[in-house]
Amino acid sequence: MLQTSKFSKTLFLCFVATVYLFLYTPIIVLILYSFNKGGFPDMWRGFSLHWYKDLFESVEIWRAFKHSVIVALTSSTLSVLMALFWVHGSRRQTKDFTPIFYGNVIVSDIILAAGLLAFFSAISVPLGLTTIIAGHTLLGLGFTIPVIKSRYEELDDSLIEASLDLGASSQYTFFNVTIPFLYPALFSAFLLAMIVSFDDFLIAFFCSGASVQTLSLYIFSMIRSGVSPVVNALSTLLLLGSLCMVIIMLMVQKNVLRK
């Protein structure tokens, strides 16, 4: 009996290890190749920081990165604010129109992107950073509204009523009772929208025009001249950045739960 349980435990561990290996092998290869002296698809030719040096010297990559950061920060801020106002504003509505925003997630990105391009050209809007931000804000709403709404529904009405009963204005109550309660959801929704924006290629491709390109567009165009290990170096740094963000998010959540 004991032997069977030991065997199944080992089998389970092997299974888990295989799944993790399957999940993380591409990332490990990516990180390793960022330190490879040779290019891609060369074999390992020794350790080098050459690609990181190239990365930091490249103006184009950092310009594209800057655009991506501007787009991600602005669009996620806008979509979180819009989601917050929508959820708060529609709390007393008898009909719930929230599901219309889920369409952004259900509809394929390419259809949304083509639709946006058609819309922008119909109203003569110049394509550029602003149109990408508008597109990503729209896309982000599909993610931020459900997150904020589910948290909002947990908010005990008696807390708001108590605040109002004690003489606080509705504005004061909103900023000092509702918002603090929503902090974890706002933060998660912001991060989610930011990641979606940073990852997006299709909307940026359709809405970017000729004067702006985001990091995903730049990496895609780099593929033409070869899978440069500079991309690996950049991805490694982005991975580190994402890891830091996840750690911060976990710490924030832990603090909130403790309180």
Partner 1 sequence: MVNIMISKHIARCLFVLFWASISYLFLHIPYIEKFLYKDQKYLCIYTWADRIDESILKNFEKETGITVYVNHYESNEELLTKLEKMPYVDCDIILPTGYIIPSMRDAGLIKQIDLTKCNFLDSIYSDFLHVDFDKNNEYSLPLYWDVLGIGYNHNKIQHDKFSLDMMFNHDHLLADSIGMIDDARQSIFLTALYLGYPLESLSKEQLKVMRTTLRQQKKWVGAYSDSQQGYYLASKTFLAVISERAYICRQMLKRNFISFAIPEEGSLLSIDNVVVSSATKKDDMVYQFINYLFSEQVLKQHCEMFCLLPVSKNVFESLDQKYIGAKDLYPGSNTFKKLRVFKNILTPKEINDFWVRLKSV
Binding residues for partner 1, rule: CB under 8 A, are 39, 41-42, 58-60, 63, 117, 120-121, 124-131, 133-134, 208-213, 217-218, 220-227
Q: Which is nearer to partner 1, 224 or 258 (CB)?
A: 224
Nearest approach, Cβ of residue 230 and partner 1 (Å): 11
Q: Which is nearer to partner 1, 188 or 197 (CB)?
A: 197
Nearest approach, Cβ of residue 194 and partner 1 (Å): 19
CA–CA gap between residue 208 and residue 71 (Å, rounded)? 11
CA–CA gap between residue 248 and residue 230 (Å, rounded)? 27
Q: Which is nearer to partner 1, 191 or 207 (CB)?
A: 207
Q: Which is nearer to partner 1, 26 or 41 (CB)?
A: 41
Q: Which is nearer to partner 1, 173 or 213 (CB)?
A: 213
Whether residue 41 has a cis bond before it, omega within 30° of 0: yes
Nearest approach, Cβ of residue 200 and partner 1 (Å): 16
Nearest to 253 by CA among 145, 245, 84, 83: 245
Nearest approach, Cβ of residue 179 and partner 1 (Å): 21
CA–CA gap between residue 238 and residue 242 (Å, rounded)? 6
Nearest approach, Cβ of residue 221 and partner 1 (Å): 4
Nearest to 229 by CA among 14, 31, 40: 40
Nearest approach, Cβ of residue 86 and partner 1 (Å): 13
Q: Which is nearer to partner 1, 130 or 235 (CB)?
A: 130
